[in-house]
A and B are shown apart, each in its own frame.
Chain A
Amino acid sequence: MLLSIGRSLGWRLAQAGLVAILVGVLSFAMMRALPGDMIFRIAAARFGYDNVTAENAELVRSQIGDPAGISAFLGWIAGLFRGDLGTSLVTGETVLAEIAHQFGATAELAGVAILLSLLIGPPLGLWAGLHPGGWFDRATVLLASVFKATPQFLLGLVLIVVVAIGMGLLPAAGHGEARHLILPGLTLALGLAANTTRITREAVVQARDSDWWRFARWKGLSERQVVLRHGLRHVAVPVLTLIAAQFVALMEGVVVVETIFGWPGIGHALVHAVFHRDVPMVQGTALIMGLAFVLINALADIAARVLDPREAAQ
């Protein structure tokens, strides 16, 4: 078991390293592609258009440096691996401090979204899978594919127009209170739940079709007892793996949803950074998102091995 976990962590470590290198390469290319008047624009963004002086511009230029050539690239990558993400070109704060500041808000939103999706998806999928071909199953499958086909921003738009503006029930934007979390959380959760429902349903249908399910019934257990004692554990493994794999879609959703609902997280910050061409911030955000994905999947690997001893034995 430990050996198997070790091997999977080794793979995840290699993945994390490659993610960092990919982000580094892209960020270096971004730096090289910054247009000539960038220095002026960055200085303007930081000090205000009226206060841009030659001195200020020179200060900014020295901070950015003049990265060129292979040694600059290697230095850049080495900095990345030392954890030196640089300072924001816009605020002058270190990137780490900026991200740490926004990360909490995003974690809160993502957590609520995952929780909501778990409250919606697995129960629906379980019920649909236990009654395959019935009206509930067909309705669920249809609804899931509609939500899967709907872009998150459109879902957010509908929720804002209908619930926030039309019915006036919940605020469309803002941060700080629980009611501010509901609409953006739901927007993210519905997309995730569409997938969780489908996977849960497939896992249940597959389990019900298996020899061990039939035999459990033949032993004399009722359908309900088989679900609770045997079924749930089998369904948990694919659902868990799916949630971890969905993290990347969640992050993509976060970028869009935070911007629409004005939620002050890293997605919102990323859009701002792109707008202002703040390369170190873009790099930092990309790196955090990529590494968080790897970390969460590493945890899912371990959990899957605990739940399914066959995985661990391989």
Chain B
Amino acid sequence: MTLLNADLTVKGSQAAMVERIALRVAAGQSVTLIGETGSGKSLFAQAILGTLPPGLHAQGTLHIEGAPVALDDPKALASLWGHAISVLPQEPWRALDPLMRARQQVAEVHRLVAGKTNAAAAASEDLAALGLGQAAERYPFELSGGMAQRLAIAAARAGGGRIVVADEPTKGLDFARRDEVALRLRRVTDDGGALLTITHDLELAEALGGEILVLRKGQLIERGPAEQVLKTPTDPYTAELIAAEPRHWQKSPSARRGTPVLSAQGVTVERGGRQLFESLDLVLHAGEVVGLCGPSGVGKSSLGDTLLGITAPATGRVTRSDGQARMRFQKLWQDPPASFAPHPALGKGLEDLMALHGIPRDRLPPLLERLRLEKGLLARKPDAVSGGELQRLSIARALLLDPVFLFADEPTSRLDPLTQKEVIQLLTGLARDQGIALLLVSHDPDLIASATDRQIALSPMLSSK
């Protein structure tokens, strides 16, 4: 039985934002939309949910469980939520009501949406099935990220909707948790539901199987069974997307290891009175690219700040090589727009920097060229430039100071895969060419494995309070 049958176009005031796409999802089937930011994959889901941004509207037909629904009637579409369509939220720890206990967030759906009389019991059953029995009376802030994820799934599905729409379900998740999400989503189709997933995560798409649609700039590029599209893509763009996954990167040869630039002896770092790790020893050499990984909250950023001298270690010693100015130890941030002053044009900041340190102005143009940045960007403000361009610009900014050490704190986690690949390759290439010691943080083990020469893994301290 076909649960979801959509054939629609999303239009802006003038042009189409998403060209006509027709798809059917039957009970027990899974369809996945794949694409980068701006591909229109989320707009398609929003059209079905009736949550398109103002100014956009959908045209075409939509049948839910065989019955037609008007795409231009937001009220009719909203009445399907919970009852017919379960919507899984992005970043579930933000989607749960922070002031309500776990069980109640599920029980209210059983009672008010599904109309069950024994809602509390039904909710307890759901929670127990997901291994949340112990957490029924906790508030969301008392749950781990994985527990919040499971709770959100239980709450989303309690209304009984057989169609499940998941928009970027792995966004912001640690690597270890992505497998669990795939497992939970597969359970949907196993139980006879229809799954529509929107993601940029090819590994998730592969794990879900079913049909895959690849979108680019609002156009359908390629569609077919998951296995076929991901293994033998016919469109060059799909092939490019697949090649951009860190596990498919070509490993670049390590450069010759130079002299030690920075070393830490027995360093213990605390944050907010809590010990993050203790007695860490490490030596970084010129021209080597070192990966730093570990689960979130383990203290990767704090280690970087300690190595840079922004914060002092609780015990132990950080030694920077003799005669190097502090300015030659630099950092790249996770959120590129946040690391620039928001108001002045980007060029102004670079000019001020060159004036401050007496750097000749003719150093900038070749650097921009090397990082494939147009000069016109310098006249713009940070909010008018893409994330990838900004991150390359912040690399250029750091390189102006001839750094000997660069701490890159998840520099590409907010970028699309193609952009991520470009930025990481430029960054590691420059470090190896110019003899910079690069410490690269990422939560993606594939990225660390293929981009770095060696790895340091931080694991959470279990003993400390």
List residues of A whose CB falls within 8 A of some B CB.
Answer: 210-212, 214-221, 225, 229-230, 233-234, 307-310, 313
Selected from A219, A220, A309, the residue in CB contact (under 8 A) with B139 is: A309
A312 CA to B158 CA in the complex, in Å? Answer: 30
Selected from A211, A216, A217, the residue in CB contact (under 8 A) with B94 is: A211
Asked whether, in the complex, the Cβ of A212 is within 8 Å of the Cβ of B98, the reply is yes
Residues of A within 8 A of B261 (CB): none
Asked whether, in the complex, the Cβ of A221 is within 8 Å of the Cβ of B95, the reply is no
A192 CA to B127 CA in the complex, in Å? Answer: 45
Selected from B83, B99, B158, the residue in CB contact (under 8 A) with A233 is: B99
Asked whether, in the complex, the Cβ of B108 is within 8 Å of the Cβ of A218, the reply is no
A233 CA to B113 CA in the complex, in Å? Answer: 21
Contacts A212-B94, A215-B152, A220-B113; A229 near B108 (Cβ below 8 A) = yes
A212 CA to B91 CA in the complex, in Å? Answer: 10
Asked whether, in the complex, the Cβ of B99 is within 8 Å of the Cβ of A308, the reply is yes
Residues of B within 8 A of A221 (CB): 82, 108-109, 112-113
A-B Cβ contacts below 8 A, count: 72
B residues 306-323 near A (Cβ < 8 Å) are none
Interchain Cβ contacts under 8 Å between A and B, 10 examples: A211-B89, A211-B91, A219-B155, A220-B81, A220-B82, A221-B82, A221-B112, A225-B108, A230-B97, A230-B100
Nearest CB of chain B from residue A191's CB, rounded to whole Å = 30
Residues of B within 8 A of A219 (CB): 81-82, 108-109, 113, 155-156, 158-159
Asked whether, in the complex, the Cβ of A216 is within 8 Å of the Cβ of B141, the reply is no
Q: Helix, strand, loop or mixed for chain A's interface?
A: helix
A211 CA to B94 CA in the complex, in Å? Answer: 6
Of chain B, the residue at the smallest CB distance from A226 is B97
Of chain A, the residue at the smallest CB distance from B92 is A215
Of chain B, the residue at the smallest CB distance from A207 is B97
Of chain A, the residue at the smallest CB distance from B89 is A215
Residues of A within 8 A of B78 (CB): 217
Residues of A within 8 A of B141 (CB): 309-310, 313
With contacts A219-B109, A220-B159, A309-B99 known, what are 15 further pairs, Cβ within 8 A? A210-B94, A212-B98, A214-B89, A215-B89, A215-B95, A215-B96, A215-B155, A218-B86, A218-B89, A219-B159, A220-B82, A220-B83, A220-B113, A230-B99, A233-B99
Asked whether, in the complex, the Cβ of B98 is within 8 Å of the Cβ of A310, the reply is yes
A233 CA to B155 CA in the complex, in Å? Answer: 20
Of chain B, the residue at the smallest CB distance from A237 is B99
Residues of A within 8 A of B34 (CB): none
Residues of B within 8 A of A211 (CB): 89-91, 94-95
Contacts A220-B159, A221-B112; A212 near B81 (Cβ below 8 A) = no
Residues of B within 8 A of A225 (CB): 108, 112
B214 at the A interface (CB under 8 A): no
B87 at the A interface (CB under 8 A): yes
Nearest CB of chain A from residue B87's CB, rounded to whole Å = 4
Residues of A within 8 A of B81 (CB): 217-220
Of chain B, the residue at the smallest CB distance from A212 is B97
Asked whether, in the complex, the Cβ of B82 is within 8 Å of the Cβ of A218, the reply is yes
Residues of A within 8 A of B113 (CB): 219-221
A210 CA to B97 CA in the complex, in Å? Answer: 10
A313 CA to B113 CA in the complex, in Å? Answer: 32
Residues of B within 8 A of A230 (CB): 97, 99-100
Nearest CB of chain A from residue B60's CB, rounded to whole Å = 22
A225 CA to B49 CA in the complex, in Å? Answer: 19
Of chain A, the residue at the smallest CB distance from B109 is A219
